């Protein structure tokens, strides 16, 4: 498919883009208070309770976005202060992706571009909302670093490298489709005016059209691209639709985008009927490896129903009793996405 045909295939699926302010007040203040109690330390460190208690740039970014959504300036300040001191330790403004509580330090200094996008977006919104010059300056530094180091043109696409190191192998580039946080890219395209952000938006949407596999047309966690060849699941990663790619419909709908990839994922989960939805699916065989009644999936499904105009109520996004950090974060992110995209569904 030519670049023009890819763009035409995508543009007809994008009926709505959302306004600049990423953080309108939303229902769920009680759940936000509980989230802070369960997963955010007084220091501002977000604890991934399902992953050995580590912290990572993605979690810090999610926490900052949620603090904005609930207009919690004190929590935002603690979250960014911990992130700045403990993760912004590279030679560039990008964030080291992983902090290990065992050693009390970063144990992998490589960055993760979704965490960088989330932090830049959050800082830009916070700087504008609270008239904070320091936040605005940090947002610009991060945006410029993402643009300079992580956005490349390859195999006919504008791509977001998942990190500076480890994803370019001669002619093959590996990307993670779920790292395209489309609402963050929308914001940065206005905050840091440069056509590359619009190109990145188009590149991600085109990949989600062409990079779907099995009869259910599922996006992979990791996708490989080489010039002159169609996208394929990365041969150096596990070829699955899994814990990364399940965020694809969330990020699309959060940005007000109805897209075939998001629709396919929602339809796949719905096909499970009374069984727990598939969380990990082998893209080579189509076999379900793991099912899990994860509350985050239920919340993304509720967001999908919101997109069709079905009222679901804020209770559809309430935190569960036993969910660890990641499903709980997905619940609250789905809530603020619903409030932003279809507030009428929260009756």
Angstrom distance (rounded) from CA 136 to CA 193: 14
pLDDT, position 25: 44
pLDDT, position 347: 73
Angstrom distance (rounded) from CA 248 to CA 66: 19
Nearest C-alpha neighbor of 46 from the set 28, 67, 26, 72: 67
- Element (H or E) spanning 107, and its range? strand 105-111
- Catalytic residue (choose from 72, 114, 138, 192): 114
CB 194 within 8 A of CB 206: no
pLDDT, position 2: 44
Nearest C-alpha neighbor of 53 from the set 37, 42, 40: 40
How far from 16 is each of 162, 247, 281, CA to CA, in Å? 27, 19, 31
Query: Is residue 4 very low, low, confident or very high in pLDDT (cuts 50, 70, 90)?
Result: very low
Q: What share of the chain is helix, strand, coil (3-state, %, to 5)?
A: 50, 15, 35
Give, as one character, the DSSP assignment of residue 147: H
Burial of 265 (0-12, 13-18, 19+ CB in 10 A): buried
Q: What is the topology classification, in CATH, of domain 22-342?
A: Glycosyltransferase (1.50.10)
- Three-state DSSP at 106 gives strand
pLDDT, position 111: 98
Percent of the chain with pLDDT over 70: 93
Tens-digit pLDDT profile for residues 171-204: 999 999 999 999 999 999 999 999 999 999 999 9
pLDDT, position 23: 40
CB 33 within 8 A of CB 319: no
- Catalytic residue (choose from 31, 58, 116, 264): 58
Q: Tokens for 202, please give them.
A: 């188009």
pLDDT, position 11: 36
Tens-digit pLDDT profile for residues 122-140: 999 999 999 999 999 999 9
Q: What is the pTM of this model?
A: 0.93
Angstrom distance (rounded) from CA 249 to CA 121: 19
Collect all residues with Cβ–Cβ distance below 8 Å to 279 and sequence separation of at least 6.
242, 243, 246, 290, 291, 292, 294, 297
Q: Tokens for 224, please give them.
A: 């490989």
- Three-state DSSP at 125 gives helix
Query: Is residue 27 very low, low, confident or very high in pLDDT (cuts 50, 70, 90)?
Result: confident
Query: Does the pLDDT at position 22 exceed 70?
Result: no
CA count, 13 A, side-chain hemisphere, 274 = 0
Q: Is 114 assigned a catalytic role?
A: yes
Q: Domains of the chain: which residue ranges?
A: 22-342
Angstrom distance (rounded) from CA 82 to CA 69: 19
Angle of CA points 176, 329, 345, to nearest 5°: 100
Query: Does the pLDDT at position 24 exceed 60?
Result: no
How far from 125 is each of 121, 222, 257, 331, CA to CA, in Å? 6, 30, 21, 21
């Amino acid at each position: 498919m030519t670049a023009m045909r890819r763009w035409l295939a995508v543009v007809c699926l994008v009926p709505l883009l959302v306004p600049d302010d990423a953080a309108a007040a939303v229902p769920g203040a009680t759940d936000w208070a509980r989230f802070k109690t369960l997963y955010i330390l007084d220091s501002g460190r977000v604890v991934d309770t399902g992953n050995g208690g580590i912290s990572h740039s993605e979690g810090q970014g999610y926490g900052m976005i949620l603090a904005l959504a609930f207009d919690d300036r004190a929590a935002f300040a603690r979250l960014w202060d911990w992130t700045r001191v403990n993760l912004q330790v590279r030679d560039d403004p990008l964030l080291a992706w992983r902090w290990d509580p065992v050693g009390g330090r970063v144990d992998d200094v490589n960055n993760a571009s979704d965490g960088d996008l989330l932090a830049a977006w959050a800082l830009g919104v916070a700087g504008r909302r609270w008239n904070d010059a320091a936040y605005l300056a940090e947002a610009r530094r991060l945006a410029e670093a993402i643009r300079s180091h992580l956005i490349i043109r390859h195999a006919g696409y504008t791509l977001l490298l998942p990190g500076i190191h480890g994803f370019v192998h001669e002619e093959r580039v590996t990307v993670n489709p779920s790292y395209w946080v489309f609402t963050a890219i929308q914001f940065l395209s206005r905050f840091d005016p440069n056509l590359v952000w619009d190109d990145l938006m188009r590149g991600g949407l085109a990949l989600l059209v062409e990079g779907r596999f099995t009869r259910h047309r599922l996006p992979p966690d990791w996708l490989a691209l080489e010039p002159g060849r169609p996208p394929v699941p990365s041969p150096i990663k596990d070829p699955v639709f899994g814990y990364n790619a399940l965020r694809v419909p969330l990020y699309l709908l959060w940005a007000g985008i109805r897209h075939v990839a998001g629709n396919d994922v929602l339809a796949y989960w719905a096909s499970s009927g009374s069984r727990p939805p598939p969380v990990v699916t082998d893209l080579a065989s189509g076999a379900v490896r793991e099912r899990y009644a994860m509350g985050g999936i239920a919340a993304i499904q509720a967001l999908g129903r919101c997109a069709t105009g079905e009222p679901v109520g804020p209770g559809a996004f309430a935190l569960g009793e036993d969910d660890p950090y990641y499903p709980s974060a997905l619940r609250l992110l789905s809530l603020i996405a619903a409030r932003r995209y279809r507030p009428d569904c929260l009756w």
